[in-house]
């Protein structure tokens, strides 16, 4: 499932084609994905101007001049692809319609935005923008790890009494919004923290050092266009490249990249998810 860097990469790719443009026509080719689409979604989208395209955790949010916000979740295999030439810089012909093109937005600048999702675990919703903080998918989310509310004091206090393993604590979306399996593994390696260590047993100093490392991992991944492991594509259809920079994720049995370390990367399962770590570097 795309994590924060992948969703942010898609947002940045879509923003030039969507922000400030009017949705001339919306095609909704089925009644649902993971959940039913909102009633009359095509009619409610058509004719609206996209004021701003933003991200909250792993969700894309398009604020419309109708006073509604469109929420998009990519799920396991969802892609938001842009075609056309809204900026007048390149010539990108619209591709032929595909079997899993479930929602298509035709923008008045000539761009076409296609939500393609073969496994149909994605989702779309429409809600009043002013009620966004109370939306069921957004209401309980923790602070953004790249935002000002996420700092050393916050994380120290959030983990002070948590007896759950560090990896599980960081994956809790109520604690930090948008972190997923890949980037928690990578951040814990950079911080030299063992993924199974109870959060409350990690010192304040080590947790404080973890905060900038989480930001660094996410920023590095965004700069590389995210990670493409199976289905993820950027908005222009290109792959992300951060998977080539993984220190631990997916590297079971490979040598640790820390200079002087002779250990190999190990894999364990925590709460049904694979965890990758170095048994020597991470304590």
- pLDDT of 81-95, one tens digit each? 888 766 555 455 677
DSSP conformational letter for 231: S
pLDDT at position 227 is: 56
Q: Which residue has the tokens 């990690």?
A: 202
pLDDT at position 78 is: 84
Catalytic site residue from 19, 38, 273, 279: 273
Catalytic site residue from 3, 6, 68, 186: 3
- Residue 6: pLDDT band (50, 70, 90) is confident
Query: In the predicted model, is pLDDT for residue 37 greater than 50?
Result: yes
Q: What is the pLDDT of residues 234-275, one digit of tens each?
A: 455 554 445 557 899 999 999 999 999 999 999 999 989 999
Q: Is 38 assigned a catalytic role? A: no
Q: Is 118 assigned a catalytic role? A: no
Query: In the predicted model, is pLDDT for residue 3 greater than 80?
Result: yes
CATH 3.40.50.300 fits 152-277, yes or no: no
Q: Is 95 assigned a catalytic role? A: no
Catalytic site residue from 11, 55, 58, 190: 58
Catalytic site residue from 2, 86, 145, 165: 2
Dihedral sign computed on CA atoms, order 48, 52, 53, 56 = negative
Indicate the CATH number for domain 4-134.
Answer: 3.20.190.10
Q: Is 54 assigned a catalytic role? A: no
Distance, first Cα to last Cα, the chain: 28
- For the chain, what are the domain ranges? 4-134, 152-277
Residue 1 Cα to chain centre, angstroms: 8
CA-nearest of 86, 88, 73, 75 to 23 is 86
DSSP conformational letter for 227: -
Q: What is the pLDDT of residues 178-193, one digit of tens each?
A: 999 999 999 999 999 9
């Amino acid at each position: 499932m795309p994590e924060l860097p992948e969703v942010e990469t898609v947002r940045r790719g879509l923003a030039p084609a969507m922000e400030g443009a009017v949705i001339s026509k919306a095609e909704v080719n089925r009644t649902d994905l993971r959940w039913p689409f909102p009633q009359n979604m095509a009619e409610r989208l058509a004719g609206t101007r996209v004021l701003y395209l933003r991200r909250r955790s792993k969700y894309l949010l398009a604020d419309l001049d109708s006073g509604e916000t469109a929420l998009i979740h990519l799920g396991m295999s969802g892609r938001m692809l842009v075609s056309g030439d809204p900026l007048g810089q390149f010539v990108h012909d619209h591709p032929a319609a595909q079997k899993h093109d479930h929602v298509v937005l035709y923008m008045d600048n000539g761009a076409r935005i296609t939500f393609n999702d073969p496994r149909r675990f994605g989702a779309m919703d429409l809600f009043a923008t002013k009620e966004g903080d109370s939306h069921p998918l957004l209401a309980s989310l923790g602070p953004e790890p790249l935002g000002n509310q996420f700092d050393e004091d916050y994380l120290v206090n959030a983990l002070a009494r948590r007896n759950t393993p560090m990896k599980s604590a960081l994956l809790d979306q109520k604690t930090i919004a948008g972190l997923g399996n890949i980037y928690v593994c990578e951040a814990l390696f950079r911080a030299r923290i063992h993924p199974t260590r109870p959060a409350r047993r990690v010192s304040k100093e080590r947790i404080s050092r973890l905060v900038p490392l989480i930001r660094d991992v996410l920023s590095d991944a965004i700069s590389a266009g995210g990670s493409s492991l199976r289905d993820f594509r950027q908005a222009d259809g290109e792959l992300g490249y951060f998977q080539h920079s993984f220190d631990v994720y997916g590297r079971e049995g490979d040598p640790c990249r820390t200079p002087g370390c002779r250990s190999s990367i190990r894999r364990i399962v925590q709460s049904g998810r694979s965890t990758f770590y170095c048994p020597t570097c991470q304590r």
